Structure 1
Amino acid sequence: MTQPSFGKAIPVLASLDMKRTLDFYGNVLGFRTQHFEDLAYGMAVRGNTELHFWACDDKHIAENTSCYLRVEDIAAVHRELSPKLPALQAVVRTAWGMDELYVIDPDGNLIKFGQASQTE
């Protein structure tokens, strides 16, 4: 018996202020955004990446949530985001073979961008 295949996974992150959240993902991270139900639910799409947001009033939830986005060119992502996020740190090479970049959104969600490390 074969296992049924799953579709694409879409993270649903907490938003303490949906307008602010969608502004950040749209204006800073370059996603197309939309909201529903009087800002109770939001979506952000960039290429094949889709994130959803639910209105939440508990910052502890957002501050303990993260999302991992695989990218093809971590250096290009860093170049794009650096002017918009002056406190952005350098790309980090991990022990598990990934080059990663970390962004904390205005709600406290940790967004990790990662690319397999290039062997030198």
Structure 2
Amino acid sequence: MNQATFGKAIPILASLDMKRTLDFYRNVLGFRTEHFEGFSYGMAVRGDTELHFWACNDKHIAENTSCYIRVKDVGDVHRELSPRLPSLQAVVRTAWGMDELYVIDPDGNLIKFGQESSAQ
């Protein structure tokens, strides 16, 4: 039996305030952003990474949602974001062999940046 070919997955995260959400992804995380239908839907793109957002009024949904973004150098991401996110924690080495950096957006969505650990 042939298996279907899958394309790129695009997470759709909850946004409690689409303008604020897109401003954060543009001004803090460096994405290009756009909105549709009176700020009821948004998109953020940086390189090959694409995130979508839907307007939501339930904070519980956003606070229980996350997205994993693989990067080539999580240290570079940390150095880029540190000046814009003063409370950004250090990169964490996980038991499953990844170096990860965690960012919580203004809505409560957890964005994890990670790369395979170089010290295995």
- 1:51-80 superposed Cα distances (whole Å, 9 cap, x missing partner): 000000000000000000000000000000
Cα displacement (A) at 1:2: 1.2
Distance 1:109 1:119 in 2: 29
Question: Residue in 2 aligned with 1:84?
Answer: 84
Distance 1:66 1:113 in 2: 11
Runs of 5+ consecutive residues of structure 1 not aligned to the other structure? none
* Helix, strand or coil at the partner of 1:10: coil
Cα displacement (A) at 1:119: 2.5
* Helix, strand or coil at the partner of 1:26: helix
Question: Residue in 1 aligned with 2:58?
Answer: 58
- Verify: 1:18 aligned to 2:32, yes or no: no
State the TM-score, normalizing by the size of structure 2. Answer: 0.99
Question: Residue in 2 aligned with 1:38?
Answer: 38
Runs of 5+ consecutive residues of structure 2 not aligned to the other structure? none
Distance 2:26 2:32 in 1: 6
Distance 1:36 1:5 in 2: 29
RMSD of aligned residue pairs (Cα, Å): 0.7
What is the correspondence of 1:90-105 to structure 2 with a 5 Å cutoff? 90-105=90-105
* Helix, strand or coil at the partner of 1:83: coil
- 1:78-102 superposed Cα distances (whole Å, 9 cap, x missing partner): 0000000000000000000000000
- 1:7-37 superposed Cα distances (whole Å, 9 cap, x missing partner): 1000000000000000000000000000000
Distance 1:2 1:67 in 2: 30
- % identical aligned pairs: 82
Distance 1:2 1:47 in 2: 31
Distance 1:31 1:2 in 2: 37
Question: Residue in 1 aligned with 2:48?
Answer: 48
* Helix, strand or coil at the partner of 1:19: helix
Number of residue pairs the alignment of both structures matches = 120
